[in-house]
Amino acid sequence: QVQLVESGGGVVQPGRSLRLSCAASGFTFSSYGMHWVRQAPGKGLEWVAVIWYDGSNKYYADSVKGRFTISRDNSKNTLYLQMNSLRAEDTAVYYCASPKFEYSSSSPLGHWGQGTLVTVSS
């Protein structure tokens, strides 16, 4: 069965960096684009970024563009989110999610990890 396990969250000071990882198993990772979605405490879901199955294209929400970088290592079945210049408003649970359909940029998000909490605070 599909498993997505995020790691790397924690408390970080404003302006610093953090890298999240998402270990995937139970499906052909290299055939699926992958997403990051976040949720601030007590708030709704916010889509963060997507990377295509082969890493050839990456797209970001305006709120993180220029500060966050999504990447993947298909040999390790792992998705990453490099977060730089962190702000208090980046405090959230970060979920990785895989699409329902392979090779589809418009596919709904069929599987989600349990999330990892990032707290940006001095």
Partner 1 sequence: DIQMTQSPSSLSASVGDRVTITCQASQDISNYLNWYQQKPGKAPKLLIYDASNLETGVPSRFSGSGSGTDFTFTISSLQPEDIATYYCQQYDNLIFTFGPGTKVDIK
Give contact residues for partner 1 (rule: CB under 8 A): 35, 37, 44-47, 50, 57, 59, 61-62, 95, 100, 105-106, 108-110, 112-115
DSSP designation for 42: T
CB of 93 to partner 1, least distance (A): 9
Residue 62 or 66: the one with the smaller Cβ distance to partner 1 is 62
Q: Which tokens sit at 59?
A: 């797209």
Measured CA to CA, the distance from residue 65 to residue 53 in angstroms comes to 20
Measured CA to CA, the distance from residue 100 to residue 17 in angstroms comes to 31
CB of 34 to partner 1, least distance (A): 12
CB of 40 to partner 1, least distance (A): 12
Based on its alpha-carbon atoms, the radius of gyration of the chain, rounded to whole angstroms, reads 13
